[in-house]
Amino acid sequence: MRGLVRSALLAGGLTMAMGCSQSAAPDAASGGTPPQPAVASSEAARAFLAALADSTRTAAALDFDGAERRRMFVVPTVMVQGGRRGLTLSRMTPQQREAAWRLLGTGLSEQGLQTARAITANEALIRQIELADTIGDRYQRNPLTYYVSVFGTPGPAEPWSWRFEGHHLSVHATHTGSTGTIVAPLFMGANPHRVLTGPTAGSRMLAREEDVGRDLIRMLDETQRKRALLTAAAYRDIQRRNDPAGRPRAMEGLPAGEMTAPQKAKLRELVEVYAARMTRSAAQEQLSRLGRAGFDRLHFIWAGAVEPGQAHYYRIHGPTLLVEYDNAQNNANHSHTVWRDLENDFGGDLLQKHYQHHPH
């Protein structure tokens, strides 16, 4: 919501990771040096699994090597072919749910966790809107219809991962022992994007994603805008949707290398809006690789209208990452956003490196 504040991530180490001169700030949640993320995550995962009854633990604990680990569906559960796997929040006790949220918090920043909680709570608002419309209860909206899955055995040696997913939220974290941790893909959406009526009218859950992107397209001169603008009509949705691999696509649009210094700064700010959803360490790792690959190689793409309230889409695409934003459905009041790691989605190259050094 509008009340969500920018994380201390943006005040510190993220811009430094992309080559800026700011110094790193302490972790916002701990007030100092954070614990090793893999340790915190494995402890939280073990605590979550231990809190479950045997009958429900089998639903939450899944095979690491199965195809399920690379599935991502951010539509209502009734639309998922074959259904979702994992343990739904509705089958948990309040204490078990808090353990699930603590696990999610090992992959997200405090700001990201607040947004995730707002997304799940928003199901109640969507239900009210649809019950008053012709849609009715077709999609069975419920803030507790979110699923938690742990793939493999949480620990420091062997690869394992977890997923927290439902309508408009999908967070995947993969831990690969000594070779690292990756939080990707990371999807967040909002419907309505802007609340039209009621006590929270005017609030927007993903406001900065919209505003900073529009700031950047407006900063471009006529020639630059022609390079960035792919089509006059926005795409109906993000292009990668449920793709099990964040595959590279043709580099299109305006390269950062052809932007002015203020425009580059705005593009950095936009990338950081998305990176700030993750924990500080996960974001720094992502942005360090982005910097090594070359910030100037990022491309910015826009489709649709520039004016607020009309359908629009943008994409940030570079050698290591793909960020997409789309707000076209429901009269341009339904937004989808995603961060994809083109090297390490679902663990990707990190898993290959692990298996090269630790034969199984």
Q: What pLDDT does 291 receive? A: 97
Is there a domain that residue 7 lies in? no
Packed helices 110-131 and 94-104: angle between N→C axes, nearest 10 degrees: 120
**Is pLDDT of 39 > 50?**
yes
pLDDT at residue 27 is higher than 70: no
Structural domain containing residue 347:
13-357
pLDDT digit string (tens) for 272-329?
999 999 999 999 999 999 999 999 999 999 999 999 999 999 999 999 999 999 999 9
User: With 70 as the cut, is the pLDDT of residue 167 above it?
Assistant: yes
Q: Which amino acid is at 89?
A: L
Run of H or E residues at 147: strand 146-151
Residue 4: inside a domain: no
Top pLDDT among 23 and 48 is at 48
In a domain, 105, yes or no: yes
Per-residue pLDDT, 243: 61
Is residue 171, in this structure, part of any structural domain at all?
A: yes
Please say if the pLDDT value at position 23 is more than 60: no
pLDDT at 245: 60
Residues present in the chain in total:
360
Most confidently modeled of 67-76, 175-184, 256-265?
256-265
Of 298, 329, 334, 326, the residue nearest 240 (C-alpha): 326
pTM summary value: 0.88
pLDDT at 101: 98
pLDDT at 34 over 60: no
Rounded mean pLDDT, 200-217: 96
Q: What is the pLDDT of residue 244?
A: 58
Whether 352 maps to a domain, the answer reads: yes
1: pLDDT strictly greater than 50: no
Is 5 a member of any domain? no
Question: How many other C-beta atoms are found inside a 10 Å radius of the C-beta of residue 244?
Answer: 14
What pLDDT sits at residue 158?
Answer: 85
Q: What percent of the chain stands above pLDDT 70?
A: 83
Count up the domains in the chain and report the number: 1
Bin 95: left if φ > 0, else alpha if -120 < ψ < 50, else beta: alpha
Per-residue pLDDT at 24: 32
Give 321-358 pLDDT, tens digit per residue: 999 999 999 999 999 999 999 999 998 766 565 455 55
Using alpha carbons, list the distances in angstroms from residue 67 to 21, 149, 229, 245, 355: 42, 13, 37, 12, 18
Determine the Cα–Cα distance for residues 122 and 134; give it in Å rounded to an integer: 19
Across the strands, what pairs with 326? Answer: 313, 336
Report CA 95 to chain centroid distance, whole Å.
25
Please, what is the average pLDDT of the chain?
A: 86
| pLDDT digit string, tens, across residues 57-91 | 999 999 999 899 999 988 878 888 888 999 999 99
